[in-house]
Structure formats: C-alpha cells, structure tokens
C-alpha cells in the first residue's frame, strides 16, 4: 500500500483556468527517514513570498516507502501510485515535478520507464505522463554504476535499495516516450559536497545522445541538503514556470 495518506499539501491554488501543480519528491538515498515531504517547507514558503502569495499553481509533495525495509521497485511504484491518485483527487491538468537527489532519480524513472514493465500499473504511468509539463532534476543520481565508480563507499545505501545494481536501468540505453514533450531542467549546486558534477554531466551527455531538449542551471545553491531550501532555486523555478 502506497503512502498516499502522507502526501503533503503546501498550497492549493484557487485560480480560474487549468489546475497547475508543482509536486516535490524528496531525496535521502532511498534510506533516510529524516528526508520527508516536509523537506520542501522552506522552498514552498520562498515561492509564496516572491510571488506575493499570488502563486498561480498548487504545491504538493509525495512520499514513498524506504529501504532497507522495502527495495526497488517499491519506491517508484509508490511515487507513480501517489501521483496518479493526486492527479485524480485534485483534478490536476498540468503536472510539474521537482525532485532532489534520488527524488530526481525517481523523476527520471517516470520519464524513461518502459510502459510495459511489469512492476508499474500502465494506466497510472500513462496518466502521470499525460499531465507532465516540466521536470526539475536537482542534484540528482542518474547512473548507479557511475556513482559507485566515483564513490565506492556509497554502496552502503545502494545495496540497501537495490538487490543488484543492474536492477536500475542506466540512462544510457534508456529512451523517453516519443509522445512526451516535457521540459527537462538539470540543476546542480557547485557546493554540493555529496555529489560532484559527474552525475549531472553524465546525464546531460545521455540527453544529448537522445536528442532530448534540456536546460542546465549551475550555481552556488549551498551544500547537498541546502539546495531544496535555497531562494535561488525558488526564483529559478518561478521564472521558468511563468515564462
């Protein structure tokens, strides 16, 4: 059973026209209970402050079960299940995802999973994809093999989340559903002490191979767990959402 009851609503917009929403997906290496949907309390506040509380879209965050009690694919199953339920319950017309760290990993899985894969409900995945407009991938993990080459010690959490590394589909060799046209934003903080630019650079190279349009935002956004509270990130998201 997915944790839909732990979905957090930061703001429910009441404006005429289509219901636009940003949904946050937290990180925490698939294992850290201290990372929750409330990681985005401060970012939500920034978005409201800089828009003078006139934000024309709703703000939510979804939860998923953690390892080692639960392993892949339960994380992505929960996220897709919760997003599908949220879309239906709140009648969301436009979905914009912002994932931090493995939250970005989960966003990429939503974009690239084979819709015929047996561990995801196809109708739920299709519903989520049909509403998806933008994906903000922030200080993300995209390749487990590249991650463990650079940081062998990170196997302490990868091995808890995956029975084997090959259970995770590396971006190189993946495809994005040709019917999708989301705008992908690859965001990374120069001050991230847990992930170098190697992951984001690798991912950008894959997007180029796929001839997938994307935009990059590199800046001093603080250390790894400061990024999702950073005012500059909120300003960037609001600017790109309002264009």
| Residues identified as active-site | 101, 192, 224
Structure-token pair, residue 12: 């429910």
Residue 207, both tokens: 């997007």
CB 37 within 8 A of CB 63: yes
Q: How is the chain classified by DSSP, letter by letter?
A: ---GGG-EEEE----SSS-EEEEEE--STTT-TT--GGGGHHHHHHHHHHTTT---SEEEEE----TTTS-TTHHHHHHHHHHHHHHHHHT-SEEEEEEETHHHHHHHHHHHS-TT-TTS-HHHHHHHHHHEEEEEEES----HHHHHHH-GGGHHHHHHH-SSGGGS--STT----TT---EEEEEEETT-SS--THHHHHHHHHHHHTT--EEEEEE---SGGGGGG-HHHHHHHHHHHH-
Q: How far apart are CA 58 and CA 157, in angstroms?
A: 33
Q: How far apart are CA 1 and CA 217, in angstroms?
A: 36
């Amino acid at each position: 059973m997915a944790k839909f009851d732990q979905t957090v609503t930061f703001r429910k917009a009441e404006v005429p026209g289509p219901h636009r929403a940003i949904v946050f997906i937290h990180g925490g290496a698939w294992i850290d209970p201290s990372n929750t949907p409330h990681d985005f309390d401060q970012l939500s506040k920034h978005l409201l402050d800089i828009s003078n509380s006139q934000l024309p879209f709703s703000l939510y965050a979804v939860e998923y079960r953690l390892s080692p009690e639960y392993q892949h694919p339960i994380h992505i199953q929960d996220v897709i299940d919760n997003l599908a339920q949220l879309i239906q319950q709140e009648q969301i017309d436009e979905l914009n995802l912002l994932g931090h760290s493995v939250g970005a990993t989960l966003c990429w899985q939503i974009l690239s999973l084979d819709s015929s894969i047996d561990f995801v409900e196809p109708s739920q995945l299709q519903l989520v994809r049909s509403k998806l407009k933008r994906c903000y991938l922030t200080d993300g993990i995209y390749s487990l093999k590249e991650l463990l080459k650079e940081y062998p010690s990170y196997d302490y959490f990868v091995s808890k989340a995956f029975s084997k590394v090959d259970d995770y589909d590396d971006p190189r060799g993946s495809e994005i559903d040709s019917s999708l046209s989301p705008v992908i934003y690859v965001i990374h903080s120069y001050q991230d002490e847990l992930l170098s630019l190697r992951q984001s650079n690798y991912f950008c190279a894959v997007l180029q191979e796929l001839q997938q349009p994307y935009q990059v935002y590199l800046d001093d956004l603080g250390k790894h767990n400061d990024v999702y509270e950073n005012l500059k990130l909120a300003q960037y998201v609001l600017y790109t959402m309002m264009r």
